[in-house]
Structure 1
Amino acid sequence: MYLIAIAWGYVAVMMALAEATSSQGSILGAVITLLLYGVLPITILLYILGAPGRKAARKKQAKAEAELAAQASAAAQADTSTQADDGDHAPAQPLPPVGKEA
C-alpha cells in the first residue's frame, strides 16, 4: 500500500520539478501540480485503503470496552452479594424535598 503511495509521490514531485524548471512554467504551477496530482490523490488513496484497519481497531476497542464493563458489573455484583442486609437498621431521618424550604 505504501509502495504505491511513495511511487506516486515521486512521480508527482518530478512533474512539479519539471513544471518549475520549465521556461514556460512557474513556481505556482509547480505547487498546484504537486497538490492536485500528488498530495490529494495520495491522501484519498491512503484513506480508502486504511478503512479496514480503522474498522478492525473500532471493533477491538468495542470488544475491550464490553469486557471491561462485564468485569465491572461482575465485581459490583460480587461486592453486593457479600453484604447482607438484615433490616436491623435504625429508621432514617426524612429528608426535606429538593428545591423547597423546610
Structure 2
Amino acid sequence: MWIVVIAWIYVAVMMAVAEAFGPQGSILGGIITLLLYGVAPLALVIYLMNTPMRRRRLREQEAAERQGAAAPSAAAPLQPDAGGLPPGDPIAPEGKEP
C-alpha cells in the first residue's frame, strides 16, 4: 500500500513543480495542483484502503468488551448497587404526601 502512496506523491510533486516553474505557470498553480492532484485523492485512497483494518480493530474491541462483560473478575467484588440506575428520591417533592 505504501508504495502506491509514495509513487502518487512523487508524481503529484513533479506535476506541481512543472506547473510552478514552467514558462506559463505560477506558484499558486503549483500549490493548487499539489492539493487537487496529490493530497485530496491520496487522502481518499488511504481512507478507503484502511477501511478493512478499521473494521477488524472495531470487531476485536467489541469482542474484548463482550468477553470482559461475560466473565466478571473474581478479584473485584460486586457492589450492592452495581445496576447503574440512580437511587430513588428519598424526599417527596414539595406539596405532595410521601
TM-score range, shorter chain: 0.7 to 0.9
In structure 2, distance between residues paired with 1:36 and 1:26 = 15
In structure 1, distance between residues paired with 2:5 and 2:23 = 29
Q: Of the two structures, which has the highest relative contact order with CA contacts closer than 8 Å and spacing of 6 or more?
A: 1
Alignment deviations for residues 6-31 of structure 1 (CA, whole Å, 9 cap, x no partner): 10100000000011111210011000
Q: Report the CA distance between 1:39 and its aligned residue.
A: 0.4
Q: Report the CA distance between 1:4 and its aligned residue.
A: 0.4
Q: Which residue of 1 aligns with 2:31?
A: 31
Q: Report the CA distance between 1:2 and its aligned residue.
A: 1.1
Q: Report the CA distance between 1:67 and its aligned residue.
A: 1.1
Q: Which residue of 1 aligns with 2:86?
A: none
In structure 2, distance between residues paired with 1:50 and 1:79 = 40
Q: What's the TM-score once normalised by structure 2's chain length?
A: 0.75
- List gaps (5 residues or longer) in structure 1: 81-95
In structure 2, distance between residues paired with 1:60 and 1:5 = 27
The 1:97/1:20 distance shift into structure 2, 3 A limit, reads: same
Q: What's the TM-score once normalised by structure 1's chain length?
A: 0.73
Q: Which residue of 2 aligns with 1:99?
A: 93
Q: Which residue of 2 aligns with 1:63?
A: 63
Q: Which residue of 1 aligns with 2:54?
A: 54
Alignment deviations for residues 44-69 of structure 1 (CA, whole Å, 9 cap, x no partner): 11111100000000000001111111
